[in-house]
């Protein structure tokens, strides 16, 4: 069904991404271009996220990760930060029933302790209410930074080594993966960033080692399921070699 839909729009595809990650960028510029407050751009962006999440099961995507707030985004004004936290609260409230019914499992990665207790409780509840769902795993990176995640991993591993519970000689890439916030996720096959910026901005520094990177000029509040599908098609015709020559 999923493949059929895409094939209708393009060539035969044998290759579908299992895990797609989105750097949802351009909300502020979208709002500015319309003379609106930045927070309006974030609201419109949340609507686009809803559409994309709904489209994933029929597109054969099992894991979707979205970068919603970086460890550097605290540098924005208090107004914008509180506008964003209110939006998270509102979005979780309005979407939770549908997400639960549609079989979406929600995970949050990043340091949630920086947020209000009530917001943290909402996040914990949504995770536990959806933990047995299997249709789509939606990971929301909120107060997430790749460097901070690596520092946390090093701290945990060092602690274990000091306690004599881990032999440094046994350390390998598989073990490092287990100490990251994404330990239960495969690495992303495809990372899409909107708004024309061609950087990772501290997102998935370890996990992006072999991801396909796609940059789209569209501002996130204008990013539709059709844009999304066109990136899946592009991904489908790429050959990922992982360092080999075959
Ligand atoms: C992305 O849009 C959303 C967050 C970073 C929270 P921006 O708010 O960064 O939008 P631009 O880049 O300023 O247009
Ligand atoms: C990256 O976007 C973070 C999110 C999309 C949440 P930014 O807008 O914060 O990144 P920079 O500042 O342009 O690098
Ligand atoms: Mg931005």
73 noted as active-site residue: yes
Ligand 1 center–CA 34 separation, angstroms: 15
Active site residue 86: no
Q: In what order do the strands lie in the sheet with 63-70?
A: 104-109, 136-144, 63-70, 19-23, 190-193, 212-215
Is residue 187 within 8 A of residue 19, CB to CB? The reply is: yes
Q: What is the pLDDT of residue 1?
A: 45
205 lies in some domain: yes
What is the per-residue pLDDT for 14?
60
Whether residue 150 is contained in a domain is answered as: no
| Atom from ligand 1 closest to the CA of residue 24 | 1
- Is 243 inside any structural domain? no
Spacing, Cα 26 to ligand 3 middle (Å): 5
5 within domain boundaries: no
Is 178 within a domain? no
Catalytic residue among 73, 86, 133, 202: 73
In a domain, 165, yes or no: no
pLDDT, mean of each 10-residue run, the chain (246 residues): 47 76 98 98 98 96 98 96 97 95 97 96 96 97 98 98 97 98 98 98 98 98 98 90 87
What is the domain-level CATH number for residue 49? 3.40.1180.10
Q: Identify the domain containing residue 14 by its residue range.
A: 10-145+189-235
Contacting residues for 62 by C-beta, under 8 A, at least 6 apart: 18, 19, 136, 137
| Beta-sheet strands, E only, within the chain | 19-23, 63-70, 104-109, 136-144, 190-193, 212-215
How many domains, in total, are found in the chain?
A: 1
Is 161 inside a domain boundary?
A: no
Atom of ligand 1 nearest to the CA of 219: 14
- The reported pTM is 0.94
Q: Which residues of 25-62 are buried (b: 16+ CB within 10 A; e: fewer)?
A: bbbbbbbeeeeeebbbbbbbbbebbeebbebbbebbbb
User: Does residue 177 lie in a domain region?
Assistant: no
């Amino acid at each position: 069904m999923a493949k059929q839909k895409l094939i209708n729009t393009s060539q035969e595809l044998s290759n579908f991404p299992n895990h797609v990650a989105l750097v949802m960028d351009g909300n502020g510029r979208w709002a500015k271009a319309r003379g609106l407050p930045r927070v309006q751009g974030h609201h419109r962006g949340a609507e686009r996220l809803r559409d994309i999440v709904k489209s994933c099961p029929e597109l054969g995507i099992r894991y979707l990760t979205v970068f919603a707030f970086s460890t550097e985004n605290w540098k924005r004004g208090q107004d914008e930060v509180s506008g964003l936290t209110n939006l998270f609260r509102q979005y979780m409230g309005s979407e939770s029933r549908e997400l639960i019914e549609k079989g979406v499992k929600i995970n949050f990665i990043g340091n949630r302790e920086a947020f209000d207790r009530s917001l943290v409780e909402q996040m914990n509840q949504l995770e536990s209410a959806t933990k047995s769902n299997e249709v789509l795993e939606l990971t929301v990176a909120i107060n997430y930074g790749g460097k901070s995640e690596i520092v946390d991993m090093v701290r945990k591993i060092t602690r274990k080594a000091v306690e004599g519970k881990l032999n440094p000689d046994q350390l390998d890439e598989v073990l490092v993966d287990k100490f990251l916030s994404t330990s239960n996720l495969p690495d992303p096959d495809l990372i899409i960033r909107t708004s024309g910026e061609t950087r990772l901005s501290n997102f998935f520094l370890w996990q992006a080692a072999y991801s396909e990177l796609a940059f789209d000029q569209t501002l996130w509040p204008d990013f539709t399921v059709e844009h999304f599908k066109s990136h899946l098609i592009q991904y489908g015709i790429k050959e990922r070699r992982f360092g080999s020559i075959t």
